Amino acid sequence: MQKILGLMIIAGIFSCNSKDGGSGFEVSGAVKNATAEMVYLEENTPEARPTILDSATLKADGSFSLKTKNKEESLYQLRLKNKVVPFAFFINDASKITVDADLNNTTQPYSVKNSAATEKLLQFDKATYEKGMQVFTQGSKVDSLQKAGAADSLVGAAYAQVQATAQSLQDLAKDYLANSKSPVLSLYVISSYQNAVSNLGLKGFSKPEIADLVTKAADKFPSHTALQNVKKNLPSSKAADFTQPDANGKPVSLSQFKGKYVLVDFWASWCQPCRKENPNIVKSYNQFKDKNFTILGVSLDQNKDAWLAAIQQDGLTWTHVSDLKFWSNEAA
């Protein structure tokens, strides 16, 4: 679902853009170590084949110049003839943009000048990749500890590192959004972050959070048609239903609690930050349980005995479910 939301947001960037009418921009530069003779300027469209807007033959030194008209800021790509994957992406936030590429440079395959929004996009991608690799490495450590039957305290401490890095990744996205001066960059950050955390098996922004972020961006850039269109077509923030067995093996669905205020609490017996927070959750439950409020606990445990023991030890008297699939829990 997070990946679908991300693609819907990115797709919205292009839904109102057109090469007909409006002002235009030029992108020029040079491509080193290219075997192809032709370069294409394309509008990046995730839902369909990219639209070719202009083409040019590379000169002997690899230089090129491409032009097109556009109604508003969008996301574009450069692709060589007979190549499926583009070698560069950029936002047209200036009338003249320079893109230089070296196809043999795997560390920094291309650079962009005179486009502040694209520079921020590339910085965000780099930082997201680095934090994503940290999460992957830390998550692998948690998996190894789990498989080795390590003590819950060790697993919990390792998982706390994953949570801390995951939070720093979300903070990074929020910081870029808060300081963004580009409507397309804002949409890109939301989409890219959602896709990144989905690939890492982490929880991204919730539907209400996405709606709030898009609304704030739309208010910040009121004249950007595509952004306004994304805001208008946001999916419902209604929580997706799911069904999992409770402590006695009986199937329980979120929809069974329709009409109540429900806090869906994701936790695990081995998650020390979760266990430390449980007394506060118990306090809130006791305070509001007679006011049409309840909690549905969803455990990311693998060991049923440890899960049930933690419920008893922490005094969690509400309904609990789990498919005992650890990070692959279908509801998480």
- Residue 8's CATH number: 2.60.40
* Minimum mean pLDDT range among 46-50, 122-126, 178-182, 262-266: 46-50
**DSSP labels, 24-63:** EEEEEEEEES---SEEEEEE--TTSPPEEEEEEE--TTSE
pLDDT higher than threshold 50 for residue 5:
no
276 belongs to a structural domain: yes
Question: Rounded to an integer, what distance in angstroms lies between the CA atom of residue 216 and that of residue 104?
Answer: 40
Q: What is the pLDDT of residues 106-119, one digit of tens each?
A: 989 999 999 999 99
Q: What is the pLDDT of residues 39-77, one digit of tens each?
A: 999 987 655 678 899 999 999 999 999 999 988 999 999
pLDDT higher than threshold 90 for residue 100:
yes
Final residue of a domain: which of 99, 116, 133?
Answer: 116
Q: How many domains does the chain have?
A: 2
Final residue of a domain: which of 85, 116, 147?
Answer: 116
125 belongs to a structural domain: no
190 belongs to a structural domain: no
Measured in degrees and rounded to the nearest 5, phi and psi for residue 317 equal -90, 5
Question: Rounded to an integer, what distance in angstroms lies between the CA atom of residue 66 and that of residue 78?
Answer: 10
Residue 19: per-residue pLDDT: 45
Q: How confident is the model at residue 2 (pLDDT cuts 50, 70, 90)?
A: very low
270 belongs to a structural domain: yes
- Residue 307's CATH number: 3.40.30.10
71 belongs to a structural domain: yes
* Minimum mean pLDDT range among 8-12, 82-86, 114-118: 8-12
Residue 222: per-residue pLDDT: 95
Could you tell me the pTM of the whole model? Answer: 0.72
Residue 18: per-residue pLDDT: 45
Domain membership of residue 79 as a residue range: 2-116
Torsion of CA 204, 208, 214, 215, to 10 degrees: -160
152 belongs to a structural domain: no
Question: Rounded to an integer, what distance in angstroms lies between the CA atom of residue 31 and that of residue 222?
Answer: 37
Which pair of structure tokens corresponds to residue 76? Answer: 């574009």
Q: How many CB atoms lie within 10 A of CB 162?
A: 23
Q: What is the pLDDT of residues 225-271, one digit of tens each?
A: 989 988 988 876 567 789 999 999 999 999 999 889 999 999 999 88
258 belongs to a structural domain: yes
Final residue of a domain: which of 116, 136, 167?
Answer: 116
75 belongs to a structural domain: yes
Question: Rounded to an integer, what distance in angstroms lies between the CA atom of residue 107 and that of residue 305?
Answer: 48
